[in-house]
Amino acid sequence: MQLTLARHDALNEYTRHVGSALFAVPPGARRGSYIGAPLFA
Q: How far, in Å, are 11, 14, 26 from residue 8 at the CA level? A: 9, 13, 42
Predicted confidence at residue 21, as pLDDT, reads 93
Q: What is the pTM of this model?
A: 0.32
Predicted confidence at residue 1, as pLDDT, reads 83
Q: At a CB cut-off of 8 Å and minimum separation 6, what does 27 contact?
A: 38
Tens-binned pLDDT, residue by residue, of the chain (41 aa):
888 877 888 888 888 888 899 987 777 888 999 888 877 76
